[in-house]
Amino acid sequence: MKLGNYLVAMLVVPALILTVGCKKPTPVGKWSGNYNNIPATFEFKDGGQMTVSATAPVVGQVTLSGTWAVEGDKLSTNLTTGNPPAILTMIPADKRKASETFKLEGETLTIGQGQPMTRVKE
């Protein structure tokens, strides 16, 4: 092997290993637990879509949909629709969008200062 090819291989292979090994964590999947003391299931889908299913006091079962994105250790969410439709109007407009730190540890997801949620096995 020529010295030039050898040097290229020595630089490229470690760079590829580092790139593959440094995959950024994302919350893709289904997570269940309590969020603000309300039993909820969050589903983060590839492509940035999300749903939240919860049993809210007085209202009962609700579903919220929206988008999500990760930048560094921040998880940004934007709730855009609700079922029943009136549920979205019960959430103040400035609370429909959020950006909080998140942490993934094995099968546990924690958003902001909230309680840890557990990955739902399907």
Domain carrying residue 93: 26-119
Asked if residues 44 and 68 have their Cβ atoms less than 8 Å apart, the reply is yes
| pLDDT computed for residue 63 by the predictor | 95
Model confidence pLDDT, tens digit, residues 79-96: 999 998 888 888 888 889
Does residue 3 sit within a domain?
no
Mean pLDDT, range 34-52, rounded to an integer: 93
Does residue 11 sit within a domain?
no
Instruction: Count other Cβ atoms within 10 Å, centred on residue 111.
Output: 20
| pLDDT computed for residue 18 by the predictor | 37
Q: How much is the pTM?
A: 0.77
Q: For the CA atoms of the chain, what is the radius of gyration?
A: 20
CATH code, 58? 2.40.128.280
Mean pLDDT, range 58-66, rounded to an integer: 92
Q: Which of 8, 55, 66, 12 is nearest to 32 (CA)?
A: 55
Does residue 15 sit within a domain?
no
**pLDDT classification of 22: cutoffs 50, 70, 90:** low
